[in-house]
Structure 1
Amino acid sequence: MNLYQKIFKEYWNPYIAISIAGLASAFYFGITGTVWAVTGEFTRLGGHILQWFGVDVSQWAYFQLVGIEGTPISRTDGWIVIGMLVGALITILVSNSFKIRVPKQKRRLLQGFIGGIIAGFGARLALGCNLAAFFTGVPQFSFHSWIFMLTTAIGTYFGVKVVNTKWWRGKPLLTKGSMNPVVTQAVQKRTIQPLIGLIFALLYLGLVLYFFTTGKTMLAVACIAGALFGILIERGQICFTSAFRDLWISGRAVMSKAIAVGMLISVVITFIYIQNGSVALIKMAAPSTAIGGLLFGFGIVLAGGCETGMMYRAMEGQLLYWVVGAGNIVGATALAYGWDHLGIYHALVEKGAKVNLIEQWGPMGALFGTIAMLAAWFLLSNWWEKRFRYGKGIKSQTTDRISHVTKEA
């Protein structure tokens, strides 16, 4: 019972969860030659939806770049996304914590949708979100990831400025009644959730075995990796939005430091794979990278969650994040259209270059240089946290509650 409590009732230490995610993402790269990513698949889904309505997107330059052949269930990236949703849902059900939640302020739905559009557009402009252009991009030794990381942080700063304004927050809604209501019959009925979660897990395991037995090994690997990532982001409450946003609001740097540790682990394992023949996935470093990072950081704060946070919160039953997800798809698809139709590629991308740090600095220089930069990020985050705590005084409980409410909205 204590083991069940620790695994499914208590959230995991973010350092442990993100470290495992970093290790798993490196192994996934070594096995498949691809990386943990989601917004590329969101863009393809947007293209498929347009195809359902008779729009031919096959000649769009962006879809020729990222590919649109097949369906989500025939692509490894598709099963990464599906697996993340399923993995998160299973742990949520087993922990008996699924509940449909509608924001008390209905304006949050529109705000989340707008934030999702901006974040989706920015992510695909930069050719990746907090995963492919950040968490799994840095271990690929792609310089564009550092540009994206820095500009994302700046974007979240301005996002915090907006969401803390009165016109954005609106009038507070006061609820009458006890702060500690008695357990209702509806809550008691949710004890069936662990059984449903177990059934989902068995069905999903059956699907993985089917892929293995029919020779679709890569799809099976993607299923396993996706589910593992989903479990880790939900149990560790991994959210890149909070990693940056908390720095600006309360100075809290736990998530920021944990992400640095997770990437450091991934860097070392990925480096070994690359030195043994795996091909690093290097993305374009261009003005689009910086602008995309700014838009992405700004959008995820308005939305209340990044791609990882959005996915597990949607599985918790939070309606807001289904709306945010829809906004992500709309924004990503709009960028795919504008890539060639509106001249975005020629204006912001074409003059960029793919900068591989291993080629620029040499293998050992890139490895130790990247480790040094991640260590500097960790130390800077730690200094920032202490600055808030001791240099500027402990923030009021009101400010902490604002951060908590924004995160859980």
Structure 2
Amino acid sequence: MGDHESSKIDHENHLLLDQPLLQLPIELLRKNLRSARFEVEKDGSYVKETLKKTANDSARGDPISQPDAVKTLDLMIARMRGVKRKLTAFSEEENRLHRHEEARVKHLAELYSLYSVDDHKYEGWSRTRLDRLLTDYLLRQGYIDSARALAQERGVELLVDIDTFDQMNKIRQCILNGSVQEALAWCTAGDTKKELRKMDSNLEFMLRYQQYIEIVRNRSQTRPDEAFSHARKHLFPYRDTYPTEVMHACGLLAMPPEYVDRVPAYREIYAPARWQKLADLFTETHNSLLSLPSIPLLHIALSSGLSALKTPACHSIHPNSAAAPSHHTSLSLATSVCPICSTELNELARNVPHALHSKSHVEPDLLLLPNGRAYGKARLEDYAKKAGLLEGKVKDLRTGEVFGVEQLKKVFIS
């Protein structure tokens, strides 16, 4: 009964890791719809205002000439054709996202048709999920070509978001290369600016601030009033929200780059490390806007698995515990006892929390050895036979120490 319960699939807990799988296409669909509405409202307002102006001019007895009227109508028609092209692109993107969502719902529905990890179909489903997690990891690390190749080989293109991460990595790389134009275009595209304002994001301000720093740094190559006009338009309106940055921006005008080493605050402003911080801020904002986890899903799955197996004994301060068995014990025996104590996983699991077990599982007839370790009587006797010990002797499975049976104490679990 216990084995059956342990092999039973808990569907809800399985899907905790797969929330972004469904959530990201929904966020992208919402973003696509908002962008389409923004374009319709913007160009629709232009047409309405133009028609209203033309009608008012005619009502005041100042009708426009026929050529001007035709020209105005042509401009409005051209504007509406542009809207049609944009809406066609939005519609194609919506259809693509619906295909992704449909494939993901189908993939997760397969899990609900399985009830035990012993089912042969579960292995295939788990392999597909592992391929997704590996692809997600590669995408987050910037290995777009490798991620695309893996997704194509495994047939999981509809279950991963290559285009989204590809766009993010291109913008991030531009920031690391010293350009903020692409990130600013992303911030101001459609109604993204409004969404960032709702999030209280400082990304756009910090991009404008870095743009100002570069203008001042290269003041010999720019117009004298360019720094003033940029600060007046993009920085001064936020002097109450970001007083320190605006104050430093004013001070930069009186601090040539060759003298910044004298003042630590200005030395930090001109430091190349700011580009890395700006790239990390963009990545964080991008993930928050699309409700993406801040760390790869592979890390979450791996840490959960390690934590489920880890016990306090796995990293005990005892010299013969952890992944280094004594010369009396073979490595294969140590690794077969506990995966976390193996050479490969011991250090990897060092910083994850211990497993929280609501039910304890112990061997029957536990015997306590003088060194403080406890093993089941049957396992001790079986190992003593395999080790060729004399009758009445037992051997610690981990440390190799030999004790007499008269030294053992029976353990009672209360």
- TM-score bracket for this pair, using the shorter chain length: under 0.3
- Greater helix fraction, Structure 1 or Structure 2: 1
Whichever of the two has the greater Rg, that structure is 2
Please report the TM-score for the alignment, with normalisation by the length of structure 1.
Answer: 0.22
